[in-house]
Amino acid sequence: MYRVDGAFFANSHASLSKTDSRHELIISLHLQQYEDVVLAEFSDNLQLRNYWYSVATEVEVTNGVTGRQLLGEKLVLYRDSSGKVIAAPDRCPHREAPLSLGKVQDGTLVCCYHGWSFGENGKCVLIPSADPDFPIPKSGHLACYQADVRYGLVWVCLGDPVAGIPDIPQDADENFRRINNPVDAWAASATRMTDNFLDIAHFPWVHTGTFGNRQRTEVQKIDLKDLPNGFHGYEYDVVAENPPAAELTSGQGTGDVSRSMSTGFYLPFTVRSTIEYGTGLQHIILLLSTPIDDVNTYFTFVIWRNDDFRVSSEDVVLFDRMIGEEDRVMLEKIPGVLPMERGALANTQSDKPSTAWRMKFLQMLNPD
Ligand code: FES
Ligand SMILES: [Fe+2]
């Protein structure tokens, strides 16, 4: 449970005698090899590989080749000629050039180093330097991971899935529309993000530029329960600020609005927040945190709404993006992973959902 970073090795390097140049060269090579090495606190846990993570928008993969990192593993994503999304290690089987630096031509991924080309299901289909009759070696094909497209996003599982992609039945309901957002990288741990998305006590303090109401800081008693579609969390009512910037989202022009809400988690790092206004308008937000490594995370959110579709999607999401930005600014100031050991953090009753998530998350990491 500790971190080795470039700075640690760099300091060791600086303390070497400059006269010992051979030794210095060896250490320097060693440094190049290990400079980026991070001993993970959770992201190298093998259990995590058996879950689905959203890594990119569908559009990003449609427009060419995309490089991503999931649980410390570098990935390349592209669409093959059948339209299927392919996810594979971002390492060419020939000489390990990053495939994400290549190009997609007619559904074939072409490596930028020697032009080896990969088609359907990651199969190597061309080795330009070889006689066309030369059989392609088995090890020349890409070792693909499972990939799927759902809710406008590309999902990847590095292992054998033990749970499905979270089910949002409103996606198939024609009364609802879905609104997607870009996948951004936050310099924050997915553990801290999940903790934050389950927490309502920070609303009056962090969301002062949006819906936070400084007059209402006390959190009512929280009773945790199973919520629909495999989520676990709580239901609550809030009176939220409804500034002009929120009116298109809330569909109301009053100074504040009453919301019936639910917030729940789905392991490992998904949080769903549902909002129902007195008008019957429902606004569902799926908050998706995907660990790049322990302390960097892809974040995106998807919205479903049963409104009359008169307000443009861009205008509807503007307010939620402002809220997300307030969270990002706060979370990027908190270094490291959320401590998991019992007694490491002071808790109060409003931290009940996060405490429940941590317990289940730890059980998931250590099933025996
Ligand atoms: S490294 Fe990719 S073709 Fe040689
Ligand atoms: Fe927040």
Give the DSSP letter string of 20-66.
-HHHHHHHHHHHHHHTT----SSTT-GGGGGS-EEEEEHHHHHTS-E
Residue 166 lies in a domain: no
pLDDT tens figures, 91-128? 999 999 999 999 999 999 999 999 999 999 999 999 99
Based on the structure, what is the number of domains in the chain?
Answer: 3
How many residues belong to the chain?
A: 368
Q: Which of ligand 1's atoms lies nearest the C-alpha of 99?
A: 2
Q: Which of ligand 1's atoms lies nearest the C-alpha of 115?
A: 3
Average pLDDT, the chain: 87
Q: Quick one: pLDDT at residue 214?
A: 66
**Shared domain check, 329 and 232:** yes
Among the bound ligands, the one closest to the CA of 206: 2
Distance 199 CA to ligand 2 centre (A): 7
- Which amino acid, residue 246? A
* Percent of the chain topping pLDDT 90: 68
Residue 164 lies in a domain: no
Whether residue 95 has its Cβ less than 6 Å from ligand 1? yes
**Shared domain check, 62 and 32:** no
**Shared domain check, 268 and 139:** no
**Shared domain check, 27 and 50:** no
Q: Which of 139, 79, 82 is CA-nearest to residue 109? A: 79
Whether residue 23 has its Cβ less than 6 Å from ligand 1? no
**H/E segment holding residue 186:** strand 184-186
Among the bound ligands, the one closest to the CA of 95: 1
- C-alpha span between 46 and 53 (Å, rounded): 14
Residue 10 pLDDT more than 80? Answer: no
pLDDT tens figures, 270-302? 999 999 988 889 999 999 999 999 999 999 999
Whether residue 127 has its Cβ less than 6 Å from ligand 1? no
Distance 90 CA to ligand 1 centre (A): 11
Q: In CATH, what number is assigned to the domain containing residue 302? A: 3.90.380.10
Least confident among 38-42, 140-144, 186-190, 304-308: 38-42
**Count of beta carbons in the 10 Å neighbourhood of residue 273:** 19
Cβ-contact 241, 211 below 8 angstroms: yes
Whether residue 193 has its Cβ less than 6 Å from ligand 1? no
Residue 286 lies in a domain: yes
Residue 245: give the domain boundaries.
173-365
